[in-house]
Structure 1
Amino acid sequence: MQTFNGLYAITPDTDDSERLIEQVSAVLDGGARILQYRNKGSDAVRRLWQASILASLARSRNALFIVNDDVELARAVGADGVHVGRDDAGIAAARAALGPGAIIGASCYDSLALARAAVAAGASYVAFGAVYPSATKPGAVAAPLSLFAASADLGVPRVAIGGITAANAGAVVAAGADAIAVIGGLFEQADPGAAAHTLATLYR
């Protein structure tokens, strides 16, 4: 597996596939090293088509491609892995379905105990958040940046998520996050590629 660090772009829910592809291309060219396809829509055909295209885009830029919470979709498009929620059984099932080489990420919210359990269950990386108030998940629990120092011994990459923008990302990187997961700070900006470049530069 290539190094799992840097800018981790997460796609917004959208039916506008053309715009999504255009924005993702710009974000990858701007320096995102990991791309997660996140779409909670019910249109399975659209999701498969979007995921297939984005997987190809990520491969063409030597970026990792992760699917949010859908093991079968991840397998169908040849994704590098999947990101799952708090259920340890979900981690084990994803590992069994996708194999030992797959990247399995786990949301751990504000809990170091959940992170330790996730690693024990086979997670490849853990995500803490929301580190800042998030428009995507306004009710998300707040996760202090001190978690990154406290989790330094986990032995897997630690991702920060939630409300991260160019204005506050430096503090997150300084706190020890191996990667910063960003949605609105990229895809809601006038120039997603420029926003990606600014954030990716923090890891160079």
Structure 2
Amino acid sequence: MTTLRFPSGLYGVTPEWDDTDRLLAAVRAAAEGGMRALQLRRKNASAQQRAEQARALAPLCRELGVVFLVNDHWRLALEVGADGAHLGRDDGDLAEARAAAGADFVLGASCYNELDRARQLLEAGADYIAFGAVYVSPTKPQAVQAPLSLLAQARDLATAHAGQSARRAAVVAIGGITPARAPEVASAGADSIAVITGLFEAPDILAAARTCAAAFNP
């Protein structure tokens, strides 16, 4: 039976909060609700702020059993003992990161709405391929749109690439996903959903996480 190289279910992505204590408490609540992985995404922070939060989150995620990734900065991820990194188009070469970090380091990458890019990233050693925005995103309102129909195609691509291997790369959906939309995205073919606002800006983070996670455990 084929297993995934990245956790299925809820993949939390941090909001732009400078308050680290607030962030740590929110991550605990999300993990209690079933969040399986977390990405530190701080586009507007200083390098020092980003590093400080990465150093605080790495041991917490280890304690909670949550896979921890750093957005953009794979060298920082290695430095703080994170499990991996997420790379966008302008965040360096995934193959270079794989060669430097080793086979056990989790690497995911943004594919936007491009299956050809996903194919190249799988060849370079990506553990997951992320598509979006699948809905209009409050975080990136100008982001390219990726139709839900692309997710099933991406899963077929990842399965074909795995061949006879017991493990395949996961398909992650991102962009405008709310707890209410999670079942639709899961049914469309996503192995995991990356959620920022719908999780961390929810009135009840624990409840939001439970609803998202339930979409993958019907």
Distance in 2 separating the partners of 1:82 and 1:50: 15
The correspondence for 1:131, drawn from 130, 134, 145, is 134
Stretches of 4+ moved more than 2 A in 1?
Answer: 41-46, 86-89
Paired residue for 2:166?
none
Identify unmatched segments of 5+ residues in structure 2.
160-168
Distance in 2 separating the partners of 1:150 and 1:158: 10
1:86 aligns with 2:95: no
Paired residue for 1:171?
184
Higher mean alpha-carbon deviation, 151-160 vs 168-177, is at 151-160
Give the drift of 1:142. Answer: 0.6
Distance in 2 separating the partners of 1:175 and 1:15: 35
Paired residue for 2:205?
192
Q: What TM-score, normalized to structure 1?
A: 0.94
The correspondence for 2:115, drawn from 112, 116, 128, is 112
The one-letter code of the counterpart of 2:57 is L
Distance in 2 separating the partners of 1:53 and 1:193: 20
Give the drift of 1:185. Answer: 0.4
Give the drift of 1:3. Answer: 5.2
Higher mean alpha-carbon deviation, 88-97 vs 50-59, is at 88-97
Paired residues of 2:6 and 2:106 also in contact (CA < 8 A): no
Paired residues of 1:82 and 1:94 also in contact (CA < 8 A): no
Give the drift of 1:2. Answer: 6.9
1:20-59 matches, within 5 Å, as 20-59=23-62
The one-letter code of the counterpart of 1:97 is A
Paired residues of 1:88 and 1:121 also in contact (CA < 8 A): no
Q: What TM-score, normalized to structure 2?
A: 0.89
The one-letter code of the counterpart of 2:199 is L
The one-letter code of the counterpart of 1:5 is S
SS at match of 1:135: coil
TM-aligned CA distance change 1:158 to 1:2, over 3 Å: closer
TM-aligned CA distance change 1:107 to 1:15, over 3 Å: same
What RMSD over aligned residues (CA atoms) do the two structures have, in Å?
1.6
Give the drift of 1:16. Answer: 1.2
Paired residues of 1:41 and 1:47 also in contact (CA < 8 A): no
Higher mean alpha-carbon deviation, 53-62 vs 121-130, is at 53-62
Paired residue for 1:161?
174
Paired residues of 2:5 and 2:170 also in contact (CA < 8 A): no
Number of residue-to-residue matches in the alignment: 204
